Amino acid sequence: MKIAALLSGGVDSSVAVHLLCEQGYRPDLFYIKIGMDDDGYSCPQEEDLEIVQAMARRYGLTYDVVDLQKDYWDNVVAYTIDKVRRGFTPNPDVMCNRLIKFGAFDQKVGHLYDKTATGHYATVIEEDGRSWLGTTPDPVKDQTDFLAQLTGLQVAHSMFPIGKMAKGEVRRIAEEAKLPSAHRKDSQGICFLGKINYNQFIERFLGTKEGPIVEIETGKVLGHHQGFWFHTIGQRKGLYLSGGPWFVVKKDIDENIIYVSKGYQPEAQMKDELLMRDMHWITLNPYETPTTVFPVTDEEVPVLFKIRHVAELRSGRLNRRADDSYFLKMDQKTNGVAPGQFCVIYTPDGRICLGSGEIAYY
């Protein structure tokens, strides 16, 4: 079987390659280049490539660098800037997986191979004659929520060699095999930013626009900000107000007003329902195609769901509306609910990730 392995320079993808080689495969290694070097916005590519080259030498494999900078900036970065401009909270990592790692790469290279292997914590479950995106035993490291915009064809073409492992086991294998990335820290944040501050990046594209910071209870102007796009609900740092602590509790996008409160209570921002639009079902739409994996028998269907910043899967009931949007009632109040983010839907047993929709409001 011909396998294209995406190697990032991190420990997860390195162990994935190691396991493939132990199983007798000879994958071709590929490093995806997305950072814009000439603009100063890039990943730590030099160190990444050193590890990719070391892995290729160690296992006698070929490696190549696939330049997807334009694809990334025309799609993922443009999506991010558009969402921020409109006051939403985007998730560029989700779109990067769909459009770049499993999209543009496949169009340029991956389609020449039987499978594309990555170091994601996910599994592929073959059931009912279809390929489904399955979860992993390590709920903290499970990455199916970042893969929830993939298509069924993309899942069927994928391999996740470390998918059934916990992070500790992956580290142990890397150390025992003396892999060059064994002690490298996990990457954090948005890759294309490199060492650039997020606000500096946003300012480059959206500029600044002064607006008032208003105490929500009294309507008193406490200070000024440089643009609502620099602030998020629940934010405490970066307001530069005296007499605090102050928290961002509301944003008026049209008037460029940030509302704050000293008496902010996290519970006040917790929600028990939300609406999703542009619902994306990975393998199939269970409301239109019957399946034993996720049978839809009533208007309200029990599901598990996940929202960014919430570590565990939570239970709720999903209802399809006439306009093809989906209403989710949560069994317990949940924080971190923000328009523009994705709500990821799972089977009631948490075994299969069914898809995701963009939160329209809460």
CA–CA distance, 299 with 287 (Å, rounded to integer):
10
E-only strand ranges, the chain: 3-6, 28-33, 63-67, 115-117, 123-127, 130-134, 158-159, 211-215, 221-225, 247-252, 257-261, 271-281, 300-307, 314-320, 326-334, 342-346, 352-361
> Choosing from 21, 43, 96, 353, which is the catalytic residue?
96
Q: Is 343 a catalytic residue?
A: no
Report the amino acid identity of residue 320: R
H helices within 87-166, ranges in order?
A: 92-96, 105-108, 152-156
Q: Tell me if 326 sits within 8 A of 275, measured CB to CB.
A: yes
The SS3 assignment for 90 reads coil
Identified catalytic residue from 43, 191, 343, 353 = 191
- Cα separation, 158 vs 168, whole angstroms: 23
Who contacts 146 (Cβ-Cβ below 8 Å, separation ≥6)?
Answer: 93, 94, 97, 120
Residues annotated as catalytic (active site), given as ranges: 96, 191
